[in-house]
Amino acid sequence: MDILLFGGGGHCKAVIDVIEAEGSWRIAGIVEAQGSTTRDVLGYPVVGHDDQLEDLLRLCPNALVTVGQIKSPSIRQRIFTRLTATGFMLPTIVSPLARVARGVRLGAGTVVMHYAQVGPDATVGANSIINTRALVEHDAAVGSHCHVATTAVLNGQVVVGDGTLIGSGAICREGITIGANCLVAMGSRVRKPVTDGTLYLGDKSR
């Protein structure tokens, strides 16, 4: 089946590597923001811009948001909302090198990248990224539009609200809740709950 990738930056390249390894999707092309000068990504052509959604839907009904997410989830969130409203189907994609245990539920448009691990009965909402070598342990609940970055660890029963980034290498104590729209800095140790909208930098959080 064909799929369009919305966003042709660095994260798109990593997702292409997952899709190629997974093998069940044919990448029909990349869709860039209006005004972008990118012509292709890893040999896949830019076939349109994000102001042509109806035309693109006729070309291919399946899509994935491949814009990256660090300081804000808003661009990924906005594209996801527009794609679903236009009628695109957003599949869940799991790298064949990842481990997803029994009882896991993954939302539409979520990608589990190479060597990531999602433990039994964990859930991940829609349009989220479980990045390379991240660990989402048993019974954890990650919201929609989240990014669990490379090598981050969410221990058992951790809850993460919508739109939150857990930075690379951060470690979150079992059972704690991290709110919506937070940014947990790379390498942080999170031992206590984090309220919505926090920039978590350990002692210097704001």
**CA–CA distances in Å: residue 19 to residues 106, 116, 190, 206:** 17, 15, 32, 37
Whether residue 72 contacts residue 25, with contact meaning beta carbons closer than 8 Å, is answered with no
With binding defined as CB under 6 A, does residue 153 bind ligand COA? Answer: no
Of residues 15, 16, 106, 149, which one binds ligand COA by CB under 6 A? Answer: 149
Strand partners, 130: 112, 148
Q: How many residues does the chain have?
A: 206
Closer to ligand COA at the Cβ: 80 or 200? 200
Q: How far is the CB of 42 from ligand COA (least distance, A)?
A: 18
Q: How far is CA 36 from CA 77, 96, 156, 183, in A?
A: 20, 32, 42, 28
Report if residue 167 touches ligand COA, rule: CB under 6 A: yes
171 is a site residue for ligand COA (CB under 6 A): no
Q: Which of residues 35-64 bind ligand COA (CB under 6 A)?
A: none
Stretch that binds ligand COA, among 48-56, 89-97, 173-181, 184-192 (CB under 6 A): 184-192
Of the two residues 60 and 116, which places its CB atom closer to ligand COA in the complex? 116
Quote the least distance from Cβ 131 to ligand COA, whole Å: 5
CA dist 206 and 204 (Å) reads: 7
Residue 94 and residue 110: Cα distance in Å, rounded? 8
Residue numbers of the site for ligand COA (CB under 6 A)? 70-71, 131, 149-150, 167-168, 183, 185-188, 201-202, 204
